[in-house]
Amino acid sequence: MIKPAPASAAATLTEFRAALRRDRLLFFPVRHHSPACAWHLQEFIRREKPASILIEGPETFDAFIPHLVSSETTPPVAVYAHLVEKVKADAPPADKNTPRRASTKPRRHGSFYPLCDYSPEWIALREGHAIGAKLSFFDLDHPRMVKASQSKEQEDSPRPISLFDESYFHQNDYLQALARQRGCRDFHELWDRLFESAFRAGDTENFIEQVASYCWFARTHTPDSQLEKDGTLVREFHMWNRLQKEQRRLKRRGETRPLLVVTGGFHTPALALGWPRQWNVNMPDFDRRKAEVLEAIVPYSFEQLDALHGYAAGMPSPGYYQRVWQSTEPDTERTHQAVAAKFLTELPRQLRANQTACQLSTADSIAALTQATLLARVRSNPGPMREDLLDAMQSCFVKGELDVEGRLIFDLALELMRGDGVGRVPPDAALHPLVSDFRTQAETLGLALQSSIERELDLEIYRKPRHQAQSLFLHRLDFLEVPFGEFTSGPDLVSGTDLDLQREHWCCRWSPQTEAALIDRSLEGTSIKEACLYRLHRRLAKLSEDRSDLGAPDAALALTLAISLGLFEHLDQFMSAARDRLQTESNFERGVSATTQLHNLQRFRSPTTGDHHSEIKGLANEAYQRACLLMQDIATAPAEKHREVLDALTQLQEIVANDEAGTIDASLFWDTVKTLADGGRAPAMIQGGLIGLLSTRAGHDPDAILDRIYEALLGFDQQGSTAPALLLGLFTVCRELSWQTPELMQRLDTLFNAWGEEEFNQALPHLRLAFAQHTPRETDRVAELLQKLHGSESSIDWYQRDHDESFLQENTALAGRVAAALERDGLSHFLPQ
Amino acid sequence: MVKPPPPSSQKPPAEVQFAAELCALLASDALPKPAGWLLSPTAVKTFILGSGGKPLPGGKNGPDDATIISQKYFGNDVLVERAIVSLLGNRSLLLVGEPGTAKSMLSELLAAAISGDSTLTVQGTAGTTEDQIKYSWNYALLLAEGPGLRSLVPGPVYQGLRDGKIVRFEEITRCQPEIQDALVSILSDKHLIVPEFKDEHRVLQARPGFNIIGSANLRDRGVNEMSSALKRRFNFETVPPIADKDLEMELVRRQTEQLLLDAGVEMKYPPDTLDLLITTFQDLRQGRTEEGASVEKPSTVMSTAEAVAVSYSACLDAHYFGNGKVGGTQVSRQLIGTVFKDDPEDAKKLRHYLNVVAKARSRRGGPWKEFYESRHLLGS
């Protein structure tokens, strides 16, 4: 049994509220990063003057309390904890389906304990320090916390999680229903309306009771099985024991001042009502020798604090709440009014400074502030709060489409409300998790760090898992531009070269610059993998910028990088970015380039692609379909792009030809080619290419192809005959036609003979290009064919013999003078090498 | 303030249709009302979004007649809240979005709940003139008596200003820009000058409660761009199309059956054909198929209203020219005529959709197979 069955929820709620304040024991339930909680807690500590404060957080963090209360520390800062479990190589796999490799890989768990100015935990530390209270963290230590939670144990996550997990509130049925009933969009808005409205207002006792009741309902509507699974019960059991101990200690000392317990409100019911007393909990054991533990205090940023920015913890828009916290207004109404006014004037100003297409005036700011204030009044908020502010911006600032102009404004608004501050830690507390991650991995992989002698590595990436891991490590460092390994040869998915090679060659050399570069990258993440992810995310962000001229190939490249850097847990985002870009790609050549990239990914799968292969296949197929759709427009391509269009057509044909597995619908390509060729609207060069393509299709009718060519050869435009351009296109795609079909040569012969001198000279450049693509052997074959056509029996004499020595000398001298003249004019690059 | 219902009409205005609900809200509304408003902002919101099944005391037949307020607009609740607040402030409200997203219905409901009258309406067209908006003259009286209140024929905006009511301006961007701009001075000064009058009637001051709800299509071709002076006087609210497939299917089914009933056509509508129609509409509207593959969005509007039109004509097609059974062929035939009107690019996009998406789904047989096989209708 986990908790006593309540006779009625209301009765126990009354009991619970009474238990919050007992004989010299005070509970303060909080929401992490809540200015209202922080403000009331500050008042509470100043008034109650507790002898000792217990704060939710791993107990080993006590070591950082001197740093945290130091005047040299400026929030936001975080305590970073990480654990690398060394799993024994001979450990049996969990089940037969798990590959052996996974069980031998060290598992890595990183967590942040972030604190900002308005974190109640921060206030507890600072205010507690000021009144001389004993301060301690009293939660399980980080390694045992990880052990206790089954759900977090499964994966090796490159992105550290926050220790302030709020998923219980987000996913809570009761709170969701409450939010719906109050007309709130989500849990954040509900919280703001109910509690942030009491910032610098109201009675603290009453506030505590309200928060406690709110959390009580969240807690009693969470299934026990979930609490057991994620380790909450074990943690609460530990916290409760520590609480008992501290109470006894204070009693022994005859302390008259109270003990204050500051935890997330979700845990308060269990601690205040003593539920853990009846629990039977297995405390996880942890062997320090089998793991590597690192804990450090690091600077943190508002960007990382923002719940809307991919870090699933804490409040959205931390910069906004920072302003609320720092405001000097005396009450909540004026505070929110002032902060709203500030943002609503700053946003138009920033838009003007950025010189965006969308410009707003002071009148717009005034209208938006009125709108926000009225919205707040209709919603019974004390002043315009965060959601009122955002709604007012939408009503008064966005005059066009929501996803165009609206996005421009909202991106900027959310950025302003996010804030850009970075915290500071005392110099003696700094440590670089990234460097430590590098050292651990290099050591595990047997890449020597002791010397700076260059070492060559020959890696069989498709056969040996260890080599694979080394390759991945080196690729990641390379991507981060950390000087350590140099890729000398091997299959390269990114550039699409040497894809059939089986081995990679690297030259590795450690230098002090290696670690210096890592320290430079330390803001990008706490592990090498995370830093790679951060960089790739930046690329994705660039892709989604409005003005970016990046297209589908860039998105496909980002996906390729994500795969070759082994960021499989996050592949979905890269997939969807690639899909989005494909959807909006309007250029045929770029569409084909992305298709080629994706098909390479699909064909030459990286040894670790594994489960994602079918998704990649689907995406590659989608790209192919898109390319076929875009192909319909090639007839309108400008003249200078014809060459690129032809190359793209050939590439697409290769994809179709190489698709032995039949994963794509080849008929889509061939039907489009045929429709375009039949339409006859394409420029001659592209038309030639299309006919050339048709002649490579299996089972085509050679006579029909010849008919098409003959018909097309008769074409004319303003410049004269289009036959030369047609031939250029034709032979670019399919040179074989020139020597395999004597009829074609005969027809060309007749055509050229019919031309006058001027016509022929005009056609010559194109004809040269058309035939220059032939290899010497192919040229010979064409020549032999023509010779036969003209009925000459003797073999061709390829050499000119009627020149004497003086002729050669004169010409050599002339060539020398030309070379000198070109060199004088700085045009020496005109000369053939 | 609520008018008694007139004799039965084809489509009574919202304040008549929902008179009982308005009475109930009026009776139970204890919150402060803005000057000139029939109901408090909260009650206006309840009128549009419903009371969640809770009966309110007081209906048409006195205080004992408990009335449940029905939900009339389905979609974004916060949007309704923002729209109401926009009307409270200094600016007017412009509902924008694709055709067929219930903008007009929303503006009618707002006007009915705020002013008890949704009939002060200007329907914007290319031929709308300034006197249709402001006022015109009864020329016989004008000649006989000269300009005076008797000879003046008030337009909707004049009436709205005079009586402190909401004026609806539908399809505002269909009007010529200079006609649209006639609103600029009215919206900023909140008065209308009648230069023909020389007496105290020359300036008509707006009574509290006056405001304008405009509606405009952002994607309609051939519209006139709004001047930025006018844009500044409006708060824009984008009304999104219905994203929920089941809800859209239900709405289309209900409306089609109603239309068929009105036309006296009796037929069964197979659910798989309806599913095909709505899936196609949603895929093309979002540019993404149910399976997650991307497709090209056509430039034409794929609204719920268009879906109803296609669905209705497909039924008529099957009834009069087919065997009475609506299938993929009829849908495809009507889709081409009704939705894909003149842009050859759109035909290309629909062909691609048929070749790629419908082809894959045609393996399931049924209407998808017919739909795919009718691709020749598009020509090559």
Q: Going by C-beta distance under 8 Å and a sequence separation of 6 or more, which residues neighbour residue B7?
A: none
What is the edge-to-edge ordering of all strands in the sheet holding B234-238? Answer: B121-123, B166-170, B211-217, B92-97, B234-238
Hey, what amino acid is at A816?
A: G
Hey, what amino acid is at B121?
A: T
A–B: how many Cβ contacts below 8 A? 84
The sign of the torsion formed by the CA atoms of A545, A546, A551, A556 equals positive
Interface test with B, best of A378, A403, A595 (most B CBs within 10 A): A378
- Rounded Cα–Cα distance for residues A581 and A549 (Å): 11
Hey, what amino acid is at A397?
A: F
Interface test with B, best of A185, A374, A385 (most B CBs within 10 A): A374
Full-model pTM: 0.69
Q: How much is the mean pLDDT over chain A?
A: 83
Residue A74 DSSP class? B
Least CB–CB distance from A622: residue in B90, B294, B355: B294
Residues from chain B contacting residue A587 (CB–CB below 8 Å): none
Q: What is the pLDDT of residue A93?
A: 43
Verify whether the Cβ–Cβ distance A367 to B296 is below 8 Å: no
Select from A567, A820, B280 the least CA-distant residue to A575.
A567
Residue A22 phi/psi, 5-degree rounding, is -115, 180
- Shortest CA distance from B31: residue in chain A: A378
Verify whether the Cβ–Cβ distance B82 to A395 is below 8 Å: yes
Verify whether the Cβ–Cβ distance B288 to A583 is below 8 Å: yes
Average pLDDT over residues A759-780: 84
- Shortest CA distance from B76: residue in chain A: A185
Q: Is-contact A691 A722, C-beta < 8 A?
A: no
Q: What is the pLDDT of residue A335?
A: 92
Between A25 and A568, the higher pLDDT residue:
A25
Residue A549 has pLDDT above 80, yes or no: no
DSSP assignment of A259-309, as one string? EEEEEETTTHHHHHHTGGGG----PPP--GGGEEEEEEEEE-BHHHH-GGG
Verify whether the Cβ–Cβ distance A371 to B237 is below 8 Å: no
Q: What is the pLDDT of residue B11?
A: 75
Least CB–CB distance from A378: residue in B81, B218, B293: B81
Instruction: For B239-287, write each residue's pLDDT tens digit.
Output: 888 777 888 888 788 788 878 888 888 887 788 888 888 988 888 888 8
Q: What is the pLDDT of residue B80?
A: 92
Instruction: For A669-716, write each residue's pLDDT tens digit.
Output: 888 888 888 887 888 888 888 888 888 887 888 888 888 887 777 777
**Cα-trace Rg, chain A:** 36
CA distance A184 to chain B (A): 8
CA distance A185 to chain B (A): 8
Verify whether the Cβ–Cβ distance B235 to A675 is below 8 Å: no
Q: What is the pLDDT of residue A609?
A: 61
Q: With 0-12 CB in 10 A as exposed, 13-18 as middle and 19+ as buried, what is A599?
A: buried
Specify the range with the lowest mean pLDDT, choosing from A413-417, A605-609, A664-668, B28-32: A605-609
Residue B375 phi/psi, 5-degree rounding, is -65, -20
Confidence of residue A580 (pLDDT cuts 50, 70, 90): confident
- Rounded Cα–Cα distance for residues A379 and A383 (Å): 10
Residues from chain A contacting residue B296 (CB–CB below 8 Å): 583, 629
Select from A476, A475, A483 the least CA-distant residue to A520.
A483
Residue B93 has pLDDT above 50, yes or no: yes
Residue B191 has pLDDT above 80, yes or no: yes
Q: Is-contact B137 B91, C-beta < 8 A?
A: no
CA distance B356 to chain A (A): 7
Q: What is the pLDDT of residue A606?
A: 64
Confidence of residue A10 (pLDDT cuts 50, 70, 90): low
CA distance A389 to chain B (A): 11
**Cα separation values, A591 from A431, A553, B350, Å:** 46, 7, 19
Q: What is the pLDDT of residue A150?
A: 64
CA distance A149 to chain B (A): 34
Verify whether the Cβ–Cβ distance A632 to B348 is below 8 Å: yes
- Rounded Cα–Cα distance for residues B48 and B70 (Å): 8
Pull the structure tokens for residue B7: 């004799």
SS3 category, A384: coil
Residue A606 CA to chain centroid, in angstroms?
A: 19
Between A425 and A815, the higher pLDDT residue:
A815
Q: Going by C-beta distance under 8 Å and a sequence separation of 6 or more, which residues neighbour residue A300?
A: A75, A76, A77, A78, A112, A114, A115, A116, A422, A423
Interface test with A, best of B49, B82, B98, B351 (most A CBs within 10 A): B82
Pull the structure tokens for residue A746: 């005969």
Q: What is the pLDDT of residue A83?
A: 80
Between A162 and A115, the higher pLDDT residue:
A115
DSSP assignment of A329-368, as one string? -SSHHHHHHHHHHHHHHHHHHHHHHHT-S----HHHHHHH
Residue B131 CA to chain centroid, in angstroms?
A: 24
Hey, what amino acid is at A167?
A: S
Verify whether the Cβ–Cβ distance A583 to B287 is below 8 Å: yes
CA distance B67 to chain A (A): 20
CA distance A724 to chain B (A): 29
Verify whether the Cβ–Cβ distance A364 to B355 is below 8 Å: no
Interface test with A, best of B85, B92, B355 (most A CBs within 10 A): B85
Verify whether the Cβ–Cβ distance A618 to B294 is below 8 Å: no
**Cα separation values, A157 from A86, A662, B327, Å:** 15, 36, 50
Verify whether the Cβ–Cβ distance A582 to B86 is below 8 Å: no
Instruction: Sort strands A455-460 and A503-508 into parallel, antiparallel or unpaired.
Output: antiparallel
- Rounded Cα–Cα distance for residues B150 and B344 (Å): 55
**Cα-trace Rg, chain B:** 24
- Rounded Cα–Cα distance for residues A421 and A411 (Å): 18
Q: What is the pLDDT of residue A105?
A: 52
**Cα separation values, B47 from A377, A686, B66, Å:** 19, 63, 15
Q: Going by C-beta distance under 8 Å and a sequence separation of 6 or more, which residues neighbour residue A249?
A: none
Interface test with A, best of B235, B239, B289, B353 (most A CBs within 10 A): B235
- How many other C-beta atoms are found inside a 10 Å radius of the C-beta of residue A682? 22
Residue A220 DSSP class? H
Verify whether the Cβ–Cβ distance B218 to A400 is below 8 Å: yes
Least CB–CB distance from A625: residue in B41, B235, B356: B356
Confidence of residue B47 (pLDDT cuts 50, 70, 90): very high
Verify whether the Cβ–Cβ distance A363 to B380 is below 8 Å: no
Select from A123, A488, A192, A440 the least CA-distant residue to A293.
A440
Select from B13, B214, B238 the least CA-distant residue to B124.
B214
- Rounded Cα–Cα distance for residues A517 and A485 (Å): 13
Token pair 């001197």 in the structure block, residue: A66
- Rounded Cα–Cα distance for residues A489 and A504 (Å): 6
- Rounded Cα–Cα distance for residues B219 and B300 (Å): 8
- Rounded Cα–Cα distance for residues B41 and A29 (Å): 36
- Shortest CA distance from A581: residue in chain B: B294
Average pLDDT over residues A215-241: 89
Q: Going by C-beta distance under 8 Å and a sequence separation of 6 or more, which residues neighbour residue B330?
A: B273, B314, B315, B317, B318, B322
SS3 category, B329: helix
Residues from chain B contacting residue A396 (CB–CB below 8 Å): 91, 235
Instruction: Sort strands A259-264 and A52-58 into parallel, antiparallel or unpaired.
Output: parallel
Token pair 């040996």 in the structure block, residue: A464
Q: Is-contact A417 A319, C-beta < 8 A?
A: yes
Residues from chain A contacting residue B91 (CB–CB below 8 Å): 367, 371, 396
Verify whether the Cβ–Cβ distance B218 to A401 is below 8 Å: yes
CA distance A293 to chain B (A): 42
Residues from chain B contacting residue A398 (CB–CB below 8 Å): 236, 238
Q: Is-contact A191 A241, C-beta < 8 A?
A: no
Q: What is the pLDDT of residue A152?
A: 47
Verify whether the Cβ–Cβ distance A399 to B231 is below 8 Å: yes
Verify whether the Cβ–Cβ distance A374 to B78 is below 8 Å: no
Residue A604 phi/psi, 5-degree rounding, is -105, 75
Least CB–CB distance from A363: residue in B88, B232, B293: B232
Verify whether the Cβ–Cβ distance A401 to B90 is below 8 Å: no
Q: How much is the mean pLDDT over chain B?
A: 85
- Rounded Cα–Cα distance for residues B196 and B200 (Å): 12
Q: What is the pLDDT of residue B107?
A: 94
